[in-house]
């Protein structure tokens, strides 16, 4: 893979709002980094609540002086969860400048069409071209194959008021303050992707490397890199290493997102992942979505000062 060196402008502040993920807990407390949604408004507990689902959607806002930019990273699993939570969190979708898809799986693209219908202005949709790949399967140990639903259809998107940016290489957004990594280099020995992922190409069945997996990278002034993964099918360590390589910035301040360390295929690499993260020393560590309970528990033990338990509605302010 040819890596393009990228000059990433610094930002003064980053806000990351969890629109949806696998877990919600309305009783979590605020810290100096994270603000939880209020228990009540006007002294009255609401009759409706935020929803969780096996999916991910994050609203990322960057600040450079007086300039503000806003990106929606992934759109959850169902057609219900993200629109519902955006309303409860009082997010004005008109302020979203760009939508970025981490990859083409259904738990990251579920409410895309509904959201595009709500955003009046034409905005870019950034994704890897393999996000359109279909059919894709998850193979079971007994030989059966489960078909992934095809939630991204080019013709359907071309009918909407959206600019399609399909790239394998890095994309700079928000006045060159945010990078979409594009296809991530895979250099670690232990991160080998989703073992039972299959795809059909040219009428033949082959292993699906999920090449469309990509992340966001931000350079926080005086602190270092903020790396935000979707599922991190390329490996969260590979993703961080790639972010360092493309930007030339070694310091890693925050790592957030899905790390995909759940289940018997991935639990054996939890400790190796922890060891590599310790070498990088992030001050903020927020595993989400597909990271899995066992891995999240181990992160909480090994990173007591930097680990934060995520929940739907949590707002991270990095300065």
Percentage of the chain modeled with pLDDT above 90: 90
pLDDT tens per residue across span 202-231 = 889 999 999 999 999 999 999 999 999 999
Secondary structure (3-state) at 226: strand
Cβ-contact 289, 55 below 8 angstroms: yes
Tell me the pLDDT band of 102, cut-offs 50, 70 and 90. Answer: very high
Mean pLDDT within 158-163 = 90
Tell me the pLDDT band of 1, cut-offs 50, 70 and 90. Answer: very low
d(CA 191, CA 175): 33
CATH topology of domain 10-318: Metallo-beta-lactamase; Chain A (3.60.15)
Mean pLDDT within 189-194 = 96
For residue 46, what pLDDT is reported?
87
For residue 42, what pLDDT is reported?
84
d(CA 295, CA 143): 28
Secondary structure (3-state) at 196: coil
d(CA 49, CA 55): 17
Arithmetic mean of pLDDT over the chain:
95
pTM of the model: 0.96
Q: Which residue in the block uniquely carries the two structure tokens 């595993």?
A: 287
Question: Which among 21, 14, 20 is positioned nearest to 288, based on CA atoms?
Answer: 21
């Amino acid at each position: 893979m040819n890596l393009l060196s990228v000059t990433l402008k610094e930002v003064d502040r980053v806000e990351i709002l969890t629109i949806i993920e696998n877990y919600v807990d309305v009783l979590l407390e605020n810290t100096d980094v994270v603000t939880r949604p209020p228990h009540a408004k006007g002294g009255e507990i609401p009759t409706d609540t935020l929803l969780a689902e096996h999916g991910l959607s994050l609203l990322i806002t960057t600040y450079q002086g007086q300039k503000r930019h806003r990106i929606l990273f992934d759109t959850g699993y169902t057609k219900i969860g993200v629109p519902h939570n955006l309303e409860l969190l009082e997010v004005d979708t008109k302020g979203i400048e760009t939508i970025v898809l981490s990859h083409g799986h259904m738990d990251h693209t579920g409410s895309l069409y509904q959201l595009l219908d709500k955003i009046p202005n034409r905005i870019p949709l950034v994704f890897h071209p393999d996000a359109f790949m279909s059919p894709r399967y998850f193979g079971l140990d007994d030989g059966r194959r489960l078909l992934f639903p095809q939630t991204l259809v080019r013709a359907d998107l071309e009918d909407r008021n959206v600019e399609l940016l399909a790239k394998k290489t890095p994309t700079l957004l928000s006045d060159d303050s945010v990078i979409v990594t594009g296809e991530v280099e895979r250099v670690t020995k232990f991160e080998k992707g989703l073992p039972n992922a299959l795809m059909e190409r040219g009428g033949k069945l082959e292993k699906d490397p999920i090449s469309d997996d990509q992340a966001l990278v931000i350079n926080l002034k005086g602190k270092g890199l903020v790396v935000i993964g979707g599922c991190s099918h390329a490996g969260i360590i590979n993703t961080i290493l790639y972010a360092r390589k493309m930007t030339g910035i070694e310091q890693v301040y925050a790592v957030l997102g899905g790390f995909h360390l759940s289940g018997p295929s991935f639990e054996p690499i939890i400790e190796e992942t922890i060891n590599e993260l310790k070498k990088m020393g992030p001050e903020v560590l927020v595993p989400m979505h597909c990271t899995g309970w066992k891995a999240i528990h181990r992160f909480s033990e090994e990173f007591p000062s930097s680990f934060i338990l995520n929940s739907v509605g949590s707002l991270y302010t990095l300065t």
